[in-house]
Amino acid sequence: MIHTFNPQLYYHTMGSHPPVLTVHDGDTVITSTVDARGWDQNGESAADRGNPMTGPFYVEGAMPGDTLAIRFESITPNREWAWTTNMLAPAVIDPAVAATLPASEIVHWTVDVAQGVAYLKEPTPGLAQLKLPLRPFLGCFGVAPSKGQFISTATSGEYGGNMDYKGLVAGTTVYFPVSAEGALFYLGDGHALQGDGEIIGTGLEISMDVRFTVSVQKGKTISWPRGETDTFWFCIGNARPLDQALQHATTEMLRLLQEDCGLTSSEASLLMGQAVEYEIANMFNPAYSVVCKLPKAVLAALV
């Protein structure tokens, strides 16, 4: 079944808020998200700032201990401009240099979805020719956290949240550990484009039209978000500092190889040691995010 859902209210925490819609395993949802400051497709303020979320969607049958799969079929900017900040975040720069940088300001970009590019609305001399290809994704999405918590959409954890991973584009399937009845899926914080690390604190912040399909893996238990594209399996760890985020992601990949592929810890180590790739998703939010990836081609060769 395909649901078209037009959001009327937005939450700034993930938790067991009243569901806005109940969906079933295999259902598809067509909806939209406002940007990180709550501006919608018409540039009007539809919600307070701070990653307002569309949802939660209650997934029938999803229970704690299960896994919720979200396949993003499309993530498309639904307006022609985005905003960013314009200064490197202190956390990514040597402290002595960070102290010399000016304060960050808001800058506007033109987003040309038809051409698939973005450029500064008022280009400065050094960036007069800058034109970057779009790569739209959602910065913040996930499920209700464990233990009855309601956690700000500024941060992230085992339940997903504000991971700002540029790899989470259309075509990707993401898996979450379910901690609350119905899983309670939230989404928002669209970025038309972003580099690794979200190192200026934003991507190209924009409202989105989104289409996704849910499925429930009963009795499948995972500890951190996992995902797959056509070419990679990946696991996401969210924590501070980067070391710990990487530990979570790597440990989850070890579990994947042991539990899903039947490797021993030594076999998994030999494989990961020579074939693993990492991405630094964000080093800006209260929890940083690191992604541990393995090529599907390598895993396919194991069988």
Q: CA–CA separation, 157 vs 89, rounded Å?
A: 21
DSSP-derived letter for residue 47 is S
CB of 18 to a second copy, least distance (A): 14
CB atoms within 10 A of CB 188: 29
Q: In the block, which residue shows the tokens 């569901």?
A: 19
CB of 266 to a second copy, least distance (A): 5
Nearer to a second copy, 4 or 265 (CB): 265
Q: How far apart are the first and last CA of the chain?
A: 35
Nearer to a second copy, 69 or 222 (CB): 222
Nearer to a second copy, 87 or 113 (CB): 87
CB of 7 to a second copy, least distance (A): 19
Nearer to a second copy, 30 or 276 (CB): 276
CB of 206 to a second copy, least distance (A): 13
Q: How many CA atoms lie within 13 A of 148 on its CB side?
A: 0
Q: CA–CA separation, 93 vs 100, rounded Å?
A: 11
Nearer to a second copy, 150 or 171 (CB): 150
Q: CA–CA separation, 6 vs 14, rounded Å?
A: 19
Q: CA–CA separation, 229 vs 194, rounded Å?
A: 18
Q: CA–CA separation, 131 vs 154, rounded Å?
A: 29
CB of 4 to a second copy, least distance (A): 29
